[in-house]
Amino acid sequence: MRIGAVLSVLVWGTVLGLLGWFFHDMHERRMEEQKLRESLARLTEETPCARILVHQVDVNADTGKTEISMSWLDTDKSWKRRSGAQIKKLKVIGKEAYFDSYQIIFDSEKVQEGDPLRGKTLTVFARTYGSDQKPSEGTPLNMPGDVLGVAEAGGELVPPAFRQGDTPPTELERRLWSRFWELCTDPEAAEREGVRTLQGTAVHKPLQANMEYRLSINNQGQIFLDGPLPPDDFIRQ
């Protein structure tokens, strides 16, 4: 009887131990899966940036070239007018419109971790131009002071539309933008700042009259130009 009782205790102890290990392992796996999902979500999370309303796409009778007339509006995370943002009236020459940006892209590990300072690519939309224009002939959009050497009069170093948040720019943002060209040519300095790369990025496509387009960016720095979309009269918002 005693041997049987001992064996029974050992068996049940083993079974309970295995069950405990199994459920613990399942819990750990679920936690790892949750962390992976959160990391992927941080990498692919998109932030609305701007809305573009195309008014006209016409061929100029004198030049024979296509001209695109449109309005640009910096937006908040709900695609509404960002506080203090002004409608910009724009015209570009060519069948396609280009939206040129400058980007400071951080290491993917920082983005995956949700680092409070380096968890999101810093992007400034600098200018727009058409496929029949040189970039230097483009119209400024949000030119950060001192970054391109041709800052708008009174322009801020980090325009409100492209700060990490709605608060004044952080010391990191100010430092990185003010050293943009230096960091472009000094990989060691960029690495010390946790920067993976600095680059210019342009997205472009043909635009249709009386349609709306929207620009957004994910935390890794991919820029999306969505549209055409049914026009929403954001000018009166």
Lateral strand order in the sheet of 195-206: 139-140, 122-130, 96-106, 195-206
Neighbours of 196 (CB within 10 A): 19
Q: Which residues of the chain have pLDDT under 70?
A: 1-7, 9-13, 15-16, 18-19, 22-43, 116, 143-167, 234-237
The pLDDT value recorded for residue 150 is: 43
The angle formed by the CA atoms of residues 104, 84 and 47, to the nearest 5 degrees, is: 40
Read off the pLDDT of residues 65-95 as tens digits, 9 standing for 90 and up: 999 999 999 898 889 988 878 899 999 999 9
Residue with tokens 């999306």: 224
DSSP summary character for residue 194: T
Candidates 13, 220, 12; CA nearest to 123 is 220
DSSP summary character for residue 24: H
